[in-house]
Amino acid sequence: QIRLVQSGPEVRKPGASVKVSCKASGYTFSSYGICWVRQAPGQGPEWMGWISTDSGDRKYAQKVQGRVTLTRETSTSTAFMELRSLRFDDTAVYYCARCPLYSGYINWGQGTLVTVSS
Amino acid sequence: EIVLTQSPGTLSLSPGDRATLSCRASQTVTSDYLAWYQQKPGQPPRLLIYNAAYRATGIPDRFSGSGSGTHFTLTITRLEPEDFAVYYCHQYGNSPPETFGQGTKVEIK
């Protein structure tokens, strides 16, 4: 059974950083990329980026490029998303997803609520 | 960046009705790499359709996807009570970035 289990909710002040983890199980971690998607309250999903769990190559959305870093730790089958210089409008649920090439995202993490509040 | 525009914003229907949801892209979606998802409150999106027309594993055949290029449609032939939710389209053919639509809410009339 494929599972993606994310770290718990976080509260940060503006200007701070947050790092969310996503631990995969039930499949060969290095065979599929991991994508990160966030969803602000009442809004549609927003794609943030992709990391190849094999090579470590990454692609980022321009909107967050420069503030986000995706990494992975193959020994523990875990992917990470770090977002820096947090702003109020970064408040959202952050999801990781297993993203096969040229297919939809069939496996998602449960989501991590990140709240940016002063 | 491809902008996906979904219509209508809200669809008010009764169980047993047919639902037709539209997703229009601002540019051609490469190889029709477009997916549809269903989302209920407090849950991640659930993949229904990928590559415009292929049902994901375990998805009932009342869900179907069609279209190509810049216009795509999700059809639910007979709405069941559990189908009332928000639906999103997602293009993954032109990346970065991949993009999602703003959603269509299917609500009980």
Q: Which residues of A touch B56 (CB under 8 A)?
A: 104, 106
Q: Is A76 helix (H, G, I), strand (E, B) or coil?
A: helix
Digit-coded pLDDT (tens) for B29-39 = 999 999 999 99
pLDDT attached to residue A101: 84
Q: Is B9 helix (H, G, I), strand (E, B) or coil?
A: coil
Whether pLDDT at A19 is above 90: yes
Interchain proximity B47–A105, CB inside 8 Å: yes
pLDDT for A16: 98
At B48, list the tokens.
């229904």
**Whether residue A22 has pLDDT greater than 90:** yes
> What per-residue confidence (pLDDT) applies to A102?
86
Please give the Cα distance from A17 to A67 (Å, whole number): 9
Residue pLDDT, tens place only, B43-86: 999 999 999 999 999 999 999 999 999 999 999 999 999 999 99
Can you tell me the distance from the alpha carbon of B10 to that of A104, in angstroms, rounded to the nearest whole number? 24
In angstroms, rounded to a whole number, what is the distance separating the alpha carbons of residues B104 and A44?
10
Q: Do the chains contact at A35 and B98, CB–CB below 8 Å?
A: yes
| pLDDT exceeds 90 at position B96 | no
DSSP percent split of chain A into helix, strand, coil, nearest 5: 10, 50, 45
pLDDT tens by residue, A46-82: 999 999 999 999 999 999 999 999 999 999 999 999 9
**Percent of chain A scoring above 70 in pLDDT:** 100
> Residue A116: left if φ>0, alpha if ψ -120 to 50, beta else—which one?
beta
Distance CA B22, CA A115 (A): 33
Contact flag A102-B93 (C-beta cutoff 8 Å): yes
Query: Does residue A33 sit at the B interface (CB-CB below 8 Å)?
Result: no
Residue B95 predicted with pLDDT over 90: no
Is it the case that residue B13 has pLDDT exceeding 90? yes
Mean pLDDT of B82-108: 95
Q: What pLDDT, on the 0 to 100 scale, is given for residue B7?
A: 96
How would you write B14-66 as a 3-class SS string?
Answer: CCCCCEEEEEEECCCCHHHCEEEEEECCCCCCEEEEECCCEECCCCCCCEEEE
Q: How far is B52 from chain A (nearest CA, A)?
A: 10
| B90 close to B99: Cβ distance less than 8 angstroms | yes
User: Left (φ > 0), alpha (ψ -120 to 50) or beta: where does A85 sit?
Assistant: left
Alpha-carbon distance values, A107 to B29, B37, B64, B76 (Å): 23, 12, 20, 22
Tell me the pLDDT of chain B averaged across its residues. Answer: 97
Categorize the per-residue pLDDT at A91 as very low, low, confident or very high, splitting at 50, 70 and 90: very high
Cβ burial of A15 (10 Å; 0-12, 13-18, 19+) is exposed
CB atoms within 10 A of CB B39: 18
